[in-house]
A and B are shown apart, each in its own frame.
Chain A
Amino acid sequence: MTAAALEISGLAKTFGDKVAVDHVDLTVPQGSFYGLVGQNGAGKTTTLSMAVGLLRPDGGAARIFGADVWSDPARAKQLVGVLPDGLAMPERLTGREVLTYLGLLRGLSKEVVAERAEELLSVLELRDAEKTLVIEYSTGMRKKIGLATALLHAPRLLVLDEPFEAVDPVSAATIKMILRGFVARGGSIVLSSHVMALVEQLCDHVGVIDKGRVAAAGPLDEVRGAATLEDRFVELVGADSTGAKGLSWL
């Protein structure tokens, strides 16, 4: 049986009067590199939070390799590594301490944790910051340590919310290399972004979210057709022209 790496069906979330996510269905096939694009506030973060069990949906379900995130959280969370956007870490720990303790919390043995932490720190170029607390990390370093915690327990699916936001080009190149390697070895990735070029460059599948709904989803070439992803996106989302007028005093 080949269950999808991530299957989202009918997820919905309302905050007060605002419908943030309106019955979203998405299927991320195993081995795919899936890009979720949308404007700010389109509902990407809310959808991904609900998909991995960080936000309780009003309705709908999310399954990771067939394991329901809400009724079988232990198994589902074992299979997924998550990099949320803008959430805190245990800030007063060094990178190595974060990885060591989280690995132990995941039930890994002390030796395995030490090995993996060492390898992650050196691949992600965080070894120089051996004695720096996470609270003193730069934005790029924070993303990298977040990615390291997501990879630590050898998940089969990565869910990354804006992994390249505010990351310098050098760090971005490292992260891209690691993600490509992960997919090449059979892993599946979902990442959200509003940078179309990046999604086109990395992903083989894409989902377009607009105002809490799926505007289009499927293999990249099917979704964008003959145009670029950016053109197709603007067409789907319906650009409004107020921004094109320019500023009156400049």
Chain B
Amino acid sequence: MAVAVTLVRMKIAILRHSTTGQRGGMMASGGVLGLLLAAGTIYLAFQEGDWLAAAYAGWMLGWIIGPVFSGGGDETLRPEFFALLGLPARRLAAGLLVSAFVGVAPVISLVALAGLVFAAAPGNVLVAVPAMVLQLAIFVLLSKVAVGLLGIALRSRVGAVGAGLVNGAVLAFLGQAWVFAVAFGQGGRIPSFVRYLPSGWGLLAVQGDYLALLAMAVLIVLLLAAWAALLAGRTGASRPSTRGRRPMRAATAQEAVVAKELRTWSRDLVRTHQLTFALAYGVFFAGAPLALGWTGMLPWAAPVFIVMAAAMTANLYGIDGTALWLTLMTPGASDMRGRQRAWLVTVGPVAVLLAVAFTLVADGPWPLILASVAALLGGAAGLVPLISVYALVPGTDPQRRGGNPLRTSEDDGALTGLAYLTMLLVALSGAPAVVAALLYGWWGVAAGLATGALCYWGLGLLAERRLAAQGPELLHMMRTGRRPEGGGRSVKLPDLPKPQRTIVMTCLSLGAIPLFPQGIVAAAFLANGRVRMSWFLATYMPPGLRWPTAALMILIGLTMYGVGLWIPYRAKKRAKPVDGPAEARPAGTPSARTDPAVYD
């Protein structure tokens, strides 16, 4: 047990160092969310039917699928660290397993498993204790084995594609679980096979089926052996690539960036996995309702694919790690535009093909799908590089990635957050075109092309400027692997005089009211001929004034946002007249940006 105890102490020490600052906040909010879910699970223990078994199946899937999104799961202690110690694989696996129980996620899962105590048959409450522990061990081990298998899969192109397909499909089906609930025709009842999944064995045990305890123990031994075998094979495996190389045709600087990116897209198995995953998710998500014979969702595979692909690739610069230095040393090489084009070339054709094929099958709605595809492609090709320079998550340099190829960064919480943020923003970038297509049919496609082109051009320009202005800071972040203390210096308001500050805060916080409900939503009601709607001013106006009122509201909203953004922008510009530190600024002045305290 000495190995296990030492590993646990190591892990506690590491966790203690990471409970401060941004990561600590992320851990705390994740913990609270997890506890809410756990409480919900316990509540299900008091319900009739197999709801609890279904909930535990959900937890188990979470443990298996979660690591795919959070960069390979909990890797605080990595097997590679101990490769030179000469420990037998099984002892190391056992030690790592014990240490894997230390952490936020296992504790929360254990709380959720407390539902077993309440679901226990009278007299079986004591059985619940070993059942809880064994069940948790199964969750943790399944997670480890899944990551290990995926790691092996990601060593070859076929494996990466396969893993992407499977992961995408599983996640899409989870999201569309209602379809299958309906398809099984059990109207509000959980199919009975759910109780016989490994996640339900604890429940079986506390309900009097003691054999389930034994089954859990056997499964744990098997999983442990499998994991030990995977660990032994994990350290130091590499695969020489001997394929022929395509001839190079690029002749200009921008073509060079595009070619460099496209080759990286096709050769980096992590990127291959990301794209296959997005594709599989889109196809299966939109295809799931076919189980009910409903084709209406099918054409949406392409938009879903685009949004998911953007979310997976949002750390565009981070994934290259410190290779950014080459971009900094060649100013004026239009790296950003090249990357945008490469992204579009990678995702665009597949998305368009998907959209056309599936819309043909479903026989429409053409304007809506084409409008959203055009808008989303342009929006994503603009947003992905923009997000990647504004919210960069420092990546692990490709040649230093460990035995877990899913892990492209040390900060996987931030990566997950980045994925959700991107999903939301990209979806929003498609909204105007979708609204236009709903209201005006084919005009929506024109709107989509217009907003897409605008996003591509405008957001790309913003990203390019940010990279030019903040390149050294981004490289420094990548080098030290950490974000600056307090993060997000760019969104912080500069020091303003109090009256101006009040104006900015008021404009930013209240601008939404005239713009959205009183402006856009009211206009939508008017367009549908609905008047005297609750608190939408324009709908109460005499006929001639309705549209002008809504338009005025939109104008007021936009002006408020404009003022709210312009004042700090102007103040920021004044605060730093030159972009470079041509001369030393006295320390302590508001504009002197102290460099992050992250030097190791």
Contacts and interface: CB of A to CB of B under 8 A. Distances in A.
B partners with A: yes
B242 A90 contact: no
Interface in B543-585: 578, 580-585
A55 to B, nearest CB: 5
Contact of B248 (A18, A77, A97, A132): A97
A87 B320 CA distance: 10
Interface in A6-34: 10, 12-18, 20
Interface of A: 10, 12-18, 20, 52-61, 68, 70-71, 73-74, 77, 82, 84, 86-94, 96-97, 100-102, 104-107, 109-110, 131-136, 149
Nearest to B338: A105
A56 B576 CA distance: 14
Contacts of A71: 578, 580, 582
Contact of B399 (A14, A94, A135): A135
A86 B585 CA distance: 31
Contacts of B91: none
A81 B323 CA distance: 15
A15 B323 contact: no
B472 A56 contact: yes
B596 A132 contact: no
B82 interface: no
B576 to A, nearest CB: 12
B248 A105 contact: no
A92 B267 contact: yes
19 contacts: A10-B584, A14-B595, A54-B329, A56-B595, A58-B584, A59-B585, A68-B580, A82-B325, A87-B323, A87-B479, A88-B322, A90-B264, A90-B323, A91-B320, A92-B398, A106-B330, A131-B242, A132-B241, A133-B267
**Do most interface residues of chain B lie in helix, strand or loop, or is the interface mixed?**
loop
Nearest to A13: B595
Interface of A is mostly: mixed
B597 A90 contact: no
A101 B256 contact: yes
B475 A54 contact: yes
B395 to A, nearest CB: 9
A87 B321 CA distance: 8
Interface of B: 238, 240-245, 248, 250-253, 255-257, 259-260, 263-264, 267-268, 320-323, 325-326, 328-333, 335, 397-399, 472-473, 475-476, 479, 578, 580-585, 594-599
Contacts of A60: 581, 584
B33 to A, nearest CB: 32
A110 B244 CA distance: 22
A105 B256 contact: yes
Given A90-B260, A91-B398, A131-B244, A54 B596 contact: no
Contacts of B398: 88, 91-92, 135
Contact of A53 (B238, B326, B472): B472
Contacts of A91: 264, 320, 323, 397-399
B320 A97 contact: no
A70 B581 contact: yes
A76 to B, nearest CB: 9
B147 to A, nearest CB: 22
Contact of B326 (A73, A102, A107, A135): A102
Contacts of B335: 105
B325 A54 contact: yes
Contacts of B325: 54, 82, 84, 87
Nearest to B269: A92
Contact of A56 (B253, B580, B585): B580
Contact of B476 (A55, A59, A100): A55
Contacts of A12: 584
A114 to B, nearest CB: 9
Given A57-B581, A131-B242, 17 more contacts: A16-B597, A18-B599, A53-B472, A54-B472, A54-B475, A55-B475, A59-B585, A71-B582, A74-B331, A82-B325, A91-B264, A92-B263, A101-B260, A105-B335, A132-B241, A133-B241, A136-B240
Contacts of B598: 15-16
B527 to A, nearest CB: 50
Nearest to A76: B331
Contacts of A104: 250-253, 255-256
A86 to B, nearest CB: 8
Nearest to A56: B472
Contact of A77 (B250, B329, B581): B329
Nearest to B260: A101
A93 B257 contact: no
A205 to B, nearest CB: 24
A161 B259 CA distance: 29
A87 B581 contact: no
A70 B328 CA distance: 12
Nearest to A86: B322
Most chain A CB within 10 A, of B244, B321, B584, B585, is at B584
Contacts of A73: 331
A93 B398 CA distance: 12
B345 to A, nearest CB: 16
Contact of B597 (A15, A52, A58, A102): A15
B211 to A, nearest CB: 50
A84 B6 CA distance: 38
A87 B245 CA distance: 25
A20 B599 contact: yes
A93 B599 contact: no
Contact of B328 (A54, A59, A96, A132): A54
Contacts of A97: 245, 248, 260, 263
A109 B252 CA distance: 8
B248 A131 contact: no
Contacts of A18: 599
Nearest first, the 3 A-B pairs at minimum CB distance are A59-B584, A16-B597, A15-B599
Contacts of A74: 331-332
Contacts of B241: 131-133, 136
A136 B237 CA distance: 12
Contacts of B256: 100-102, 104-105
A1 B505 CA distance: 55
Contact of B245 (A15, A20, A94, A102): A94
B243 A93 contact: no
Contacts of B263: 92-93, 97
Contacts of B332: 74, 107
Contact of A88 (B260, B323, B333, B584): B323
Contacts of B257: 101, 105
Contacts of A61: 582
A110 B259 contact: no
Nearest to B264: A92
B326 A149 contact: yes
Nearest to B468: A73
Contact of A110 (B242, B251, B326, B331): B251
Q: A17, A60, A90, A94: which has the most chain B beta carbons within 10 Å?
A: A90
